[in-house]
Chains A and B, each alone.
Chain A
Amino acid sequence: MSAFLRAMGAVVWKDLAAELRSRELISSMLVFALLVILIFNFALELDASARANVTSGVLWVTFVFAGTLGLNRSLAIEKDRGCLDGLLLAPVDRTAIYFGKAAANLVFILVVAAIVLPVYSVLYNTNLFAQPGVLLVILLGAEGYTAVGTLLATMAVQTRTRDILLPILLFPVVIPVLVAAVKATSGYLQALPLDEIRPWLNLLVTYDLVFTAAAFMVFEYVVEE
């Protein structure tokens, strides 16, 4: 168990250290996320009345799109530099590599969220931090998203059509996360009673558990060579 954690920690650390040096992943995700918000601003006329209803939708679409960019890049780097093969040659459990990559991707999305939320709050003069529940939803949603996303991105980067394939593979299977996260976020933002939010939280937790377990079980089949 401790060997497993050490291997996983090493993968996470490798990704974070590389990112600290180059900053290419988070910076591109971040700029992209801000651009998406900007586009929504003009496409949806985000005035005060419209915003109340669509804020959570805009936020989640932003995270999902930026997340796709990050996932694709994160695994493409591994593939192109031959790191994936190197990692696989290392005498560690393959699933430790999966959890390491997934955790690093989760950190990237959370960092982007940590910057997007205050920026959005300032731009639209609201306080998204007023309800701590929102942060919980983001954590749960991002976990489910990266759990599946890391698995599918690992497959996508090994195909001929890798640049276009990831969203096509990923979006139809993360719809439950998106629906539940959007509804739960807007529930918290509108300060609805917990009873109305709980079904969505339950769904998010179920999704996280089911897909983390499933990805954990099948990951070794997508990296063998």
Chain B
Amino acid sequence: MKARSRVLLGLDVVTLLVMAAATYMVFIYAPVERTMGLVQKVFYFHVAAGWTGMLGFLAAVVAGIAYLATRKSSWDLVGLGAIEIGLVFALINIITGSIWARPIWNTWWTWDPRLTTATIMELVYAAYLMLRQGIEDPERRARFGAVYAIVGFISVPLTFFSIRIYRTIHPVVIGGGDPTVSGSFSMTPAMGATFGVALVAFSFLFASLLWHRIRLGQLGAQVEQLKLKLMH
């Protein structure tokens, strides 16, 4: 236990350092984009936050399957933590996207596949939290949570394709070949480096937050047990 919390502390320190480095690169090192100006810099943490959100939802579906297979309550804590963190970062992703869209697309919001899918995903996982709130028995809560995490995750790509069949105006910066989409730009090496560091930083941030969230969940479970013991 002692060794483990020292590893966690180490992870926290590394996370802080990489986050500081990523922030420095975004603010100072990365060049200002030629046409969009400073707002383009929102892109780095916008995509990184979306990445963290997806990591969270992916981790939750893995934890859900693992829970159903093993019935270890620790998997449930992983799933819940991952979804909570995923929700926070997906929200950051949506709001920053909206802030970027205002000057570039001249609107806060469009019904583009990615925006719409991101929002529906946010609703799916908000529903996950509401489902859990409605169940008192911890075992059933974990079981239903795992099932819904799986069902919700499967629906995401289908939602995306259903809206994709309309035309998209969202720029595909990585690997996208269509320069006519408004707001797209090609990354200079300095931009690419900044982007890479931001992704790494947010991955560390995700790992460290998830670990803390799991420990919080374990503490919560201990308190629950104490309560039950006192009642009898």
Interface residues of A (CB under 8 A from B): 148, 151-152, 155-156, 158-162, 165, 168-169, 171-176, 179-180, 183, 199-200, 203, 206-207, 210-211, 214-215, 218, 221-222, 224
List 19 additional A-B contacts (Cβ < 8 Å) besides A158-B140, A172-B124, A206-B158. Answer: A155-B144, A156-B131, A159-B131, A160-B135, A160-B136, A165-B131, A169-B148, A172-B120, A175-B120, A176-B159, A176-B161, A200-B165, A203-B158, A203-B162, A207-B158, A210-B158, A215-B151, A218-B150, A221-B146
Cβ–Cβ < 8 Å partners of B124 in chain A: 172-173
The answer to whether B131 and A155 have CB atoms under 8 Å apart is yes
The answer to whether B127 and A172 have CB atoms under 8 Å apart is yes
In the complex, A161 Cα to B147 Cα: how many Å? 18
User: Given contacts A176-B161, A206-B158, are A148 and B131 in contact (CB under 8 A)?
Assistant: no
Cβ–Cβ < 8 Å partners of A218 in chain B: 68, 147, 150-151
The listed residue with most B CB atoms (<10 A of its CB), out of A155, A162, A207, is A155
Interface residues of B (CB under 8 A from A): 68, 120, 123-124, 127, 130-131, 133-136, 140, 143-144, 146-148, 150-152, 154-155, 158-159, 161-163, 165
The answer to whether A148 and B151 have CB atoms under 8 Å apart is yes
The answer to whether B151 and A173 have CB atoms under 8 Å apart is yes
In the complex, A159 Cα to B155 Cα: how many Å? 22
- Write the nearest CB–CB distance from B128 to chain A, whole angstroms: 8
The binding surface of chain B is classed by DSSP as helix
The answer to whether B161 and A172 have CB atoms under 8 Å apart is no
In the complex, A224 Cα to B71 Cα: how many Å? 13
Cβ–Cβ < 8 Å partners of B123 in chain A: 171-172
The listed residue with most B CB atoms (<10 A of its CB), out of A151, A168, A173, A175, is A173
In the complex, A174 Cα to B143 Cα: how many Å? 21
CB closest residue in chain B, given A207? B158
From the candidates B120, B127, B131, B150, name the one contacting A214 in the complex (CB within 8 A).
Answer: B150
From the candidates B68, B155, B163, name the one contacting A221 in the complex (CB within 8 A).
Answer: B68
The answer to whether A179 and B162 have CB atoms under 8 Å apart is yes
Cβ–Cβ < 8 Å partners of A168 in chain B: 127, 130
Cβ–Cβ < 8 Å partners of A222 in chain B: 143-144, 147
Cβ–Cβ < 8 Å partners of A161 in chain B: 130, 133-134
- Write the nearest CB–CB distance from B52 to chain A, whole angstroms: 21
11 pairs of residues in contact across A and B, judged by CB atoms under 8 Å: A152-B151, A155-B144, A160-B135, A168-B127, A169-B148, A173-B152, A203-B158, A206-B158, A210-B154, A221-B146, A222-B143
From the candidates B130, B150, B158, name the one contacting A176 in the complex (CB within 8 A).
Answer: B158
- Write the nearest CB–CB distance from A178 to chain B, whole angstroms: 8
From the candidates B133, B140, B143, B159, name the one contacting A175 in the complex (CB within 8 A).
Answer: B159
- Write the nearest CB–CB distance from B162 to chain A, whole angstroms: 4
CB closest residue in chain B, given A210? B154
Cβ–Cβ < 8 Å partners of A206 in chain B: 158
The 4 closest A-B pairs by CB, nearest first: A159-B134, A161-B134, A173-B155, A176-B162
In the complex, A9 Cα to B192 Cα: how many Å? 60
The answer to whether B154 and A211 have CB atoms under 8 Å apart is yes
User: Given contacts A148-B151, A210-B154, are A175 and B134 in contact (CB under 8 A)?
Assistant: no
In the complex, A173 Cα to B134 Cα: how many Å? 19
